Amino acid sequence: MCKMQSEKRRNENRSLLIAGIFSLMFSAAILFGARLDSVENVDVRDVALWLQLAAFTIIFTAFVLLLWWFFDCLQKRGRKVNRKYPEIITNAIKWTGRHADVPSFLFLLLCWLPVFLAVYPGFFVYDAQDEYIQVATRAFSTHHPLVHVLLLGGMICGIHKLTDSYNLGIACYMVFQMVLAAGVFTFLFSYLRRKRISCILCLSGLVWIGLFPTVVMFTLCSAKDALFTLSLLLLLVCLLEMGTEETFFGSKGWQILFVVSGMGMMLLRNNGFYAFLVMTPLLLLAQKKRRGRLFLLAVCAVAGCVLVNGGLKAALHADDSEYQELLTVPIQQLARTYQYAPEVFSGEDLETLYEVLDEEALSLYTPRLSDPVKYRFDNEAFARDKGKYAKLWLRVGMKKPLIYLNAWWMTSYGFWYPDTVINVYGGNTVFTFTYKDNSYFGYEVELPGVRESKIPWLAEVYRRLSLEVWKEKVPVVSWLFSPGAMFWLYAFLFAWLWKNRRYELLYPFLPIFILWLTVLLGPTYLPRYVLFFWYALPLFLAVMQLGSGREAKYIDTH
């Protein structure tokens, strides 16, 4: 009896600790984010801030523990209840489970098709013109993934040569991406049904993917984010299978999918490559069996990525002399210090700084977006003596560490503050409009494309969703569009599973959180960088059902 009470106390203390850590981080995100959003600065010397943090942490800890108690009650209830349905309903569910793939695929295409026609030829935006020009001029660089450059630019140039229409080339790429996305999501829901996930959850997930604006926008967008996220989604399915089924390493199909999806993730984003490298040793630590096979699969994926990228780079003579993407945060930190505390730079420091960032570039500093300064960074000067500029950055940072910290927070807080309004491009003029109070999504068709809407009223709906702030002002609804809110939803689920020691269900969280950490070092906060939060939501809600032990085991859909 004493042993049972001791074990119960340990579990309660463990739950309290995990809930406390989660609540502390969430409270800090709320308080720090609110200050960054309003005054673009967090004064860590403010005593009131820390008192508020303590109070918020206590309140949220109690609330989190209450939610966990509720979920645990549902878990116990789910294990006891043996649901019985009339035979006709049971047979209908069985039939749906066996024959849902084609209807799911067609449903998604039918959901996306009207929007595609409304914004025809699609959202040709976010570096799309640059990628097309690389192919058209045969002047390649590694600034964008070469695989995507060749796919997008090659399709546009090829169709243009055949039809003399750029729009048709863009539209063909959009249709290709739509079909591919529908196929991947159909595979996902087929997998969830095989895992005995409830029909209601699968149907809700299908509607989410088919209709939620953020998903639809990027499915019809030429940016690499959709293809990258689809590759990641397949990898997440592999990781869930690896964690929950011992037969994973006995299946050639699953192993091939792991390698191919890992390669796709790494080829389509540089941070995907870094995330995979960091994820691999963590997976090896978590996977107690078949570590040798897992290591071999990871090596195959990395080697395949390196060979493809290296081969394309050599064949296309692609320029890889750019450093500013990796140095986004240091560049922004130096620019902010130059603007707010120029006195810390000695004459020699200024001379060194001007070698890579001239006065005009430094004058363009904007807190939420590093692009205006970053694009004027002198890569050649930096390459000649990297250590010299690293020492400058370190020397200045030691004098003004809080400025450095706030400079970094200002370009990343949208990824962790739930109430962020995405307006990082406010005032910027692009091809067909000027960003005003919102820049949630780039509602644009860059040249050589031209918008030819077939359903103008629906195009206007998506224009308003993309460029107007109203959706981010509606309580509850705004959090569905918020990268920060979506992150905390995933973090909450992770904490609950960790509390319940469901470690086998945590595998898919590894790349999600590692990728989230990499985007914190990016140039700004935009939904496109964390599109996986929306694409993968049905999968992680299914993980939550698996964690509750309420799988629909009463119906065999095989």
Per-residue model confidence (pLDDT) at position 94: 56
Q: At 70, is the pLDDT very low, low, confident or very high (cuts 50, 70, 90)?
A: confident
d(CA 405, CA 336): 10
Helix (H, G, I), strand (E, B) or coil at 80: helix
Last residue of a domain, one of 382, 410, 438: 410
Degrees (nearest 5) of the Cα angle 493, 494, 496?
65
Among 552, 551, 545, 554, smallest CA distance to 71 is for: 545
Per-residue model confidence (pLDDT) at position 98: 59
pLDDT tens digits, residue range 348-405?
999 999 999 999 999 999 999 999 999 899 999 999 999 999 999 999 999 999 999 9
Do 161 and 233 lie in a common domain?
A: yes
**393 within some domain:** yes
Do 198 and 292 lie in a common domain?
A: yes
**445 within some domain:** no
- Other CB atoms closer than 10 Å to residue 442's CB: what's the count? 24
Last residue of a domain, one of 410, 441, 458: 410
Do 133 and 205 lie in a common domain?
A: yes
Rounded mean pLDDT, 86-114: 75
**419 within some domain:** no
pLDDT tens digits, residue range 234-286?
999 999 999 999 889 999 999 999 999 999 999 999 999 999 999 999 999 98
Do 317 and 356 lie in a common domain?
A: no
**439 within some domain:** no
Q: Give the total number of structural domains in the chain.
A: 3
pLDDT-above-90 percentage for the chain: 79
Do 363 and 298 lie in a common domain?
A: no
Do 181 and 166 lie in a common domain?
A: yes
Last residue of a domain, one of 48, 80, 112: 80
Phi and psi torsions of 373, nearest 5° = -85, -45
**452 within some domain:** no
Do 310 and 333 lie in a common domain?
A: no
Q: At 2, is the pLDDT very low, low, confident or very high (cuts 50, 70, 90)?
A: low
Q: At 455, is the pLDDT very low, low, confident or very high (cuts 50, 70, 90)?
A: very high
545 versus 232: the higher-pLDDT residue is 232
Do 269 and 216 lie in a common domain?
A: yes
Please tell me the total number of residues recorded for the chain in this structure.
558
Do 250 and 149 lie in a common domain?
A: yes
Q: What is the CA radius of gyration of the chain?
A: 25
Per-residue model confidence (pLDDT) at position 553: 42
d(CA 38, CA 42): 10
Do 300 and 332 lie in a common domain?
A: no
**435 within some domain:** no
d(CA 182, CA 188): 10
Do 276 and 354 lie in a common domain?
A: no
pLDDT-above-70 percentage for the chain: 93
Per-residue model confidence (pLDDT) at position 290: 87
**446 within some domain:** no
Enclosing domain of residue 271: 98-321+501-548
**Cα atoms in the 13 Å half-sphere on the side-chain side of 536:** 29
Q: Are 465 and 511 in contact, with CB atoms under 8 Å apart?
A: no
Degrees (nearest 5) of the Cα angle 197, 556, 207?
35
**443 within some domain:** no
Do 121 and 239 lie in a common domain?
A: yes
